[in-house]
Amino acid sequence: MSKPTVIIVGADKGGVGKTTVSRTLLDYFTARNVPIRAFDTEAPRGTLKRFYPDITDVVDATSVSDQMRIFDTLSDSQVTIIDVRAGLLSTTLAALRDIGFLESAKRGQITLAVFHIVGSSIASLDEIKDIAPFVVDGRYYLTKNFINNNTFFEWDQSTYDSYFKQIRDAVDLTIPKLNEMAYEQVELAAVPFVTFIANKTASGENANYSFVLRGYVRHWLGNVWAEFDRVKLPDIVGSNVVGGPKPQSQFTPAPQNQVRSGGG
């Protein structure tokens, strides 16, 4: 196995859709057969675990024992995703510095990637300055997430560039908006996006999700994965992961007296 990769997903502001980004990353790597696990720091009840109960543990990132559960077992999986509680991204990165994790990344023993989910206000740009010292030896993905109707109207380009360029090899990516009704139906189903698209329940049985809504989710997830391909995300887990499948849906004929529910 290649050296372990740790992906930190977080923000120093709530309501920017960080867990949605974590879910798309889990689907992306799982579809490419990359061994992956996740830690949800929204203790005691984690949102991410609702969708990926088999590969997600809920932890308290400020607890030393839970830090040991995460970082003493990195070799258990090729990729570890840590979904950081809102407002604790900088604090979590500081803790990684204190335990020597960032030094290991500097030595090339571990690959560190940070997905920083930003909001639309100028305060998010200040977050970049706070985080910059911690990602000198990692991959930094500044992520604009439009899932919550963010418009980023306050971002003057020259001001934005002055912050963004503080981080070497920083990458800018965009998560497009998903149709609200489609998003709500995935939330109600409490399954991964790829499972909803495939018209399956959490237990793997055939479901009866809307053909139309599954189409919206498939199209959206395909665009998200195209963004991950554009920024060469597979490179962080090794060159053996090249390309990959697209989100696929399964057509399921509906009973004759019902509206069709399937995928295309």
pLDDT tens string 151-195: 554 556 666 666 667 677 788 899 999 999 999 999 999 999 999
User: How far apart, in whole angstroms, are the C-alpha atoms of residue 36 and residue 38?
Assistant: 7
Which is nearest to 264 in space by CA: 200, 198, 192, 190?
A: 198
Per the CB < 8 A criterion, the answer to whether 192 and 27 are in contact is yes
pLDDT confidence of residue 239: 47
* Alpha helix (H) residue ranges in 165-241: 180-189, 193-197, 211-230
Separation of alpha carbons 12 and 88, rounded Å = 6
Helix (H) or strand (E) segment spanning residue 104 = helix 101-106
Topology (CATH) of 5-180+227-236:
Rossmann fold (3.40.50)
Highest mean pLDDT among 88-92, 108-112, 131-135: 108-112
- Kindly tell me if the per-residue pLDDT of 133 is higher than 60: yes
The full set of domain ranges for the chain reads: 5-180+227-236
pLDDT tens-digit series, residues 138-149: 899 988 888 766
Respond yes or no on whether the N-terminal peptide bond of residue 44 is cis (omega within 30° of 0): yes
Are 175 and 143 in contact by the 8 Å Cβ rule? The answer is yes
Within 10 angstroms of residue 247's Cβ, the number of other Cβ atoms is 23
| Dihedral sign of CA atoms 56, 15, 25, 100 in order | negative
Task: Report CA-CA distances (Å) from 142 to 71, 126, 179, 222.
Answer: 24, 13, 23, 20
pLDDT in tens, 193-248: 999 999 999 999 999 999 999 999 999 999 999 999 999 999 998 745 555 667 77
Write the CA distances from 185 to 151, 191, 260, integer angstroms.
24, 10, 17
Residue 224: the pLDDT is: 96
Task: Determine the pLDDT at residue 144.
Answer: 85
Mean pLDDT of 57-65: 91
| pLDDT at site 152 | 54
- Is the C-alpha dihedral spanning 239, 69, 97, 229 positive or negative? positive
How many angstroms separate the CA atoms of 258 and 142, rounded? Answer: 45
Claim: this prediction has a pTM higher than 0.85: yes
The answer to whether the beta carbons of residues 237 and 29 sit under 8 Å apart is: yes
